[in-house]
């Protein structure tokens, strides 16, 4: 390095060179640390995606909050980020809600509220999904299609199915991870 000294002593120049060498050393160290971080993310992300399947911790049947019904996701479209999806869900009333069956017979799509979001980020869904189809299979079992679901980022999500007539809801929880869609 060459420096032009406008004023000052030789010791000022030596101190300036030492300070610049330290800055250069810090820059090299930070560049190496950043490279190591990028490499570790590149190699570990596929491993994490293999360990965390799309539906963890979704069970076959998700019990509602007050145990008046359970839900099962039977079909989802191929999930991807920033695209609209539809899910087919079966709602099965439990024994504790059979006394409420009279009010359920007249169940309409408007009686079911769909919501959800990401608890860790404290935000909801970027869309307002609705029940687009409701089919009674038995007096206590319904198949519904939820349309308008959209996921805009990786992470832990939940979809809430709220049966307004029963004043009860069920949360379907899952992890949406890279490499799983």
pLDDT of 35 higher than 80: no
* Residues facing 158 on adjacent strands: 117, 173
> Span 124-150, mean pLDDT?
93
pTM, 2 dp: 0.65
C-alpha distance from residue 82 to each of 36, 145, 150, 181 (Å): 31, 19, 6, 12
Exposure string over 66-100, b if 16+ CB within 10 A, otherwise e: eebbbbbbeebeeeeeeeebebbbbbebeeebeeb
> Span 169-177, mean pLDDT?
89
CATH code given to domain 62-176: 2.60.40.1640
Query: What stretches of the chain show up as alpha helix (H) in DSSP?
Result: 10-51, 101-104
CB-based burial label for 110 (10 Å; 0-12, 13-18, 19+):
exposed
Sorted by where each begins, the domain ranges of the chain are 1-51, 62-176
> Span 118-125, mean pLDDT?
95
Higher per-residue confidence, 95 vs 91: 91
Q: What's the mean pLDDT when you consider all of the chain?
A: 75
> Span 97-113, mean pLDDT?
69
> Span 93-103, mean pLDDT?
60
Structure tokens at 58: 């979704």
pLDDT of residue 67: 87
Q: Are 69 and 103 in contact (CB under 8 A)?
A: no
pLDDT of residue 132: 96
Q: What are the strands, taking DSSP E only, across 55-108?
A: 62-63, 69-76, 84-93
């Amino acid at each position: 390095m060459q420096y032009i000294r406008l004023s000052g002593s030789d010791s000022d120049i030596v101190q300036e060179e030492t300070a610049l060498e330290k800055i250069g050393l810090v820059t090299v160290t930070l560049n190496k640390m950043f490279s190591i971080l990028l490499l570790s993310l590149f190699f570990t992300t596929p491993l994490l995606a293999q360990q965390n399947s799309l539906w963890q911790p979704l069970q076959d049947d998700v019990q509602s909050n007050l145990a008046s019904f359970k839900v099962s996701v039977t079909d989802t479209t191929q999930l991807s980020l920033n695209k609209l999806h539809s899910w087919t869900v079966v709602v099965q009333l439990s024994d504790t809600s059979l006394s409420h069956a009279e009010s359920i017979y007249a169940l309409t799509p408007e009686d079911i509220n769909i919501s959800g979001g990401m608890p860790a980020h404290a935000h909801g869904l970027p869309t307002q999904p609705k029940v687009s189809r409701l089919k009674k299979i038995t007096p206590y079992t319904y198949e519904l299609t939820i349309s308008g679901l959209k996921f805009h980022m990786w992470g832990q999500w939940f979809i809430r199915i709220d049966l307004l007539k029963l004043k009860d809801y069920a949360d379907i929880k899952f992890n949406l991870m890279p490499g799983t869609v």
